[in-house]
Amino acid sequence: MISIYSISALIFAYLFGSIPTAVWIGQAFYGIDVREYGSGNAGATNTFRVLGKKAGIAVMILDILKGYTATNLAYLIGLSVTGPQNSVQFVNYQLALGITAVMGHLFPIFAGFRGGKGIATLFGMIVAVHTGAALVCVLTFILVLLISKYVSLSSIVSGFSFPLSIIFIFQSPIRSVVLYGMCICILILVTHQKNIERLIKGKESRVNLFKRKD
């Protein structure tokens, strides 16, 4: 059922996702718009690259919280809209809110619609919807990063681990979650096209996990 509350929550989810944490932190504390340097993306990875670990960690945490908080707005909406918690209807509404927040991150109204790639915000959404699968994504990301030193490759592989874990490990009965996982894979491939090209050409930059920068 569509209500003023459900529509308002979707609008708020988009606005919440639109908060350009990388841009605002860069401008407020460093006098730098991270979109003018590095990869040109307003996300945690580029913030790490341009501003260092402290700023990068802050942006990553805040972007995760954006996705997590927006997705959990479902708990504030009446049962007539969302249905009982953990029901198909409830999870579907969580997905709608989370996707709206991710779109806000990709196309932020507060930053000229020039956002990041949405990985951290997507992860926050995954934590809210399925914590177990989120843990699989984290472990996959860490493992691939330790082996390859490529943040982009780690993000791509961990993104693909979500639908695989949902299908084969947790065997979720909610089809929309599986479909959402597949959509994540497509979104990651689209937003990481340039990274994939650089990986194929061997020109993608690696990260030094143990180098002290700040």
Q: Tally the C-alpha atoms within 13 A of residue 38's C-alpha that lie toward its C-beta.
A: 23
pLDDT band at 213 (very low <50, low <70, confident <90, very high): very low
List, in order, residues 6 or more apart from 142 with CB less than 8 Å away: 154
pLDDT given at position 2: 63
Return d(Cα 205, Cα 195) in angstroms, integer: 9
Return d(Cα 117, Cα 188) in angstroms, integer: 8
Return d(Cα 165, Cα 135) in angstroms, integer: 10
Is the Cβ–Cβ distance between 27 and 121 less than 8 Å?
no
CA dihedral 139, 147, 206, 102 (to 10 degrees): -20
pLDDT at residue 52 greater than cutoff 60: yes
Mean confidence (pLDDT) of the chain: 90
pLDDT given at position 210: 59
pLDDT band at 1 (very low <50, low <70, confident <90, very high): low
C-alpha pair distances (Å), 137 with each of 74, 112, 140: 23, 31, 5
What would the mean pLDDT of 24-34 be, rounded to a whole number? Answer: 96
pLDDT given at position 22: 96
pLDDT band at 61 (very low <50, low <70, confident <90, very high): very high
